[in-house]
Amino acid sequence: MNTQLTDPKKLKTAKIAIYSASIAIPLVVAILFGVKIKGVNLNFLPEFYATINGITAFFLVLALLAIKRKNQVAHRRYIRLSLLLSLVFLVCYVAYHMTSDPTTYGGNFSGLYYTLLISHILLSIIVVPIVLFTYLFAWQGDFVRHKKWTRFAWPIWFYVAVTGVIVYWMISPYYEFVS
């Protein structure tokens, strides 16, 4: 248990930070999508951040297996790596979209593609506060609430990571890479 977060003032600060991040992240991403930086070539990023999503999914599975084996140290390590990778993904995703024109899907499975894309985007917004609160409960040592929230957090986070890879795989033939 982290004794700092049993202090009501510090706990309130942590909750405000989670609410703020949960609102700020989608707003900042939406605003930055309107910013276009010309002359910067980050065409390598979609493959990179799709790989990051795949590695995140892998670490989430390892975290699940570790906790099922009651290995809290490994579980904590894998979750922290997953959080870090999710942050790296977000930065790379925004950087790419600030420097590149949008890509339109042109395949035969447009219904599937857009269903996956829309669910991926919506759940990526929803998962931020869920994951952060789940992490906060573990940090506090409140493993009853942590476990209860994990029943929602883990599958949503895993879905977002996996669909990120699938969406990339489906749209990658339609990227126009200009050198």
Residue ranges making up the domain that contains 54: 3-174
Q: List pLDDT tens digits, range 30-51.
A: 998 888 999 999 999 999 999 9
**pLDDT of 162 higher than 90:** yes
53 is written with which tokens? 């999503």
Could you tell me the maximum CA-CA distance found in the chain, to the nearest angstrom?
56
pLDDT value of position 107: 86
- Is residue 110, in this structure, part of any structural domain at all? yes
DSSP assignment string, 122-148: HHHHHHHHHHHHHHHHHHHT-HHHHHH
Local structure of 44: helix, strand or coil: coil
Across 140-151, average pLDDT: 95
Residue 17, CA distances (Å) to 14, 23, 96 in order: 5, 10, 27
- Give the number of other Cβ atoms within 10 Å of residue 18's Cβ: 18
- Is residue 29, in this structure, part of any structural domain at all? yes
- Is residue 49, in this structure, part of any structural domain at all? yes
CA distance 179 to 177: 6
- Is residue 143, in this structure, part of any structural domain at all? yes
- Is residue 179, in this structure, part of any structural domain at all? no
- Is residue 31, in this structure, part of any structural domain at all? yes
- Is residue 95, in this structure, part of any structural domain at all? yes
Give the number of domains in the chain. Answer: 1
CA distance 77 to 57: 14
Query: 161 with 57: CB under 8 angstroms?
Result: yes
Q: What CATH number corresponds to the domain at position 33?
A: 1.20.120
* Whole-number average pLDDT of the chain: 92
- Is residue 126, in this structure, part of any structural domain at all? yes
User: Higher model confidence: residue 84 or residue 41?
Assistant: 84
The model's pTM is 0.90
